[in-house]
Amino acid sequence: MAIIMSSWTENYGDPSENKDLLTQFKGAAVVIASDEKITLLGAIQSLFEGSMYTFVFLWTPALSPNGEDIPHGFIFATFMLASMLGSSIASRLMARSSLKVESYMQIVFLISAAALLLPVITSFLVVPSGEKGGGISFSGCIQLIGFCTFEACVGIFWPSIMKMRSQYIPEEARSTIMNFFRIPLNIFVCIVLYNVNAYPIVFMFGMCSVFLFVASLLQKRLRFITESQRSRSQEWTAMKETGSEAEPLNI
């Protein structure tokens, strides 16, 4: 350690690439404003992550509203298993060349919205038990199935969103652009946590379900733009090939 400290110099990187934070965010804002796909992708990720982080703090009181004795460790392990299953499904989906990420992610967001809507539905259809303590209730079991489904969608979401980020966001500004969208995300999560006791849990889950539904609409728009650009590119390539074949040979 003494030899290293006395003989090694600090590597500060390339000074020409060092930019202050304000300059980086200005560059990210320019890139976001110039490409609708990046704007849509950032909004989609913010909406999904906001719903996911809200779910992390709400699933425990949702499953035990009357102080039921629920196996938290077992339930959390089940969530992780569902997430791992979703990641496995995502790898199989992305391995199919005929299936685009933009296509199946819209369905994933709709399933996620329906899964987090279950607490709202059960609050109206299932009569709540007034007994304190005991095991998990019938409505809790229904919600648990929905929560596991949502965790499976989370497992599909991460590798899929990373693939779309690699396709649409330039690598040199990728981290700054994603941090740009995390600013409203973190503000939203802080507001939710600060007011978690001010609104019913049903309202919170309904809000998350709406966010996920909006994410599915944005994903549909992203898919439309991508397919339109792809079709125009194919038409342009076909026109170039046709034009090159029609040119006379100069002898």
DSSP string, 185-196: HHHHHHHHHHTT
Residue 15 pLDDT = 56
How many Å apart are CA 68 and CA 134, to the nearest integer? 5
How many Å apart are CA 111 and CA 108, to the nearest integer? 5
**Helix residue ranges per DSSP H, the chain:** 2-7, 21-34, 36-63, 72-95, 101-125, 138-168, 174-194, 201-246
Residue 211 pLDDT = 96
Q: How remote is the C-alpha of 221 from its chain's centroid?
A: 16
Each residue's pLDDT tens digit, 200-240: 999 999 999 999 999 999 999 999 999 998 787 777 776 77
Each residue's pLDDT tens digit, 41-72: 999 999 999 999 999 999 999 999 888 889 99
Quote the mean pLDDT of the chain: 87
Average pLDDT over residues 164-192: 88
Residue (of 85, 144, 82, 151) closest to 112 by Cα position: 151
Each residue's pLDDT tens digit, 107-166: 999 999 999 999 999 998 887 666 676 788 889 999 999 999 999 999 999 999 999 999
Indicate if the pLDDT at residue 176 is higher than 90. no
Domains of the chain plus CATH, in order, are 22-227 (1.20.1250.20)
Residues of the chain with pLDDT > 90, as a percent, come to 56
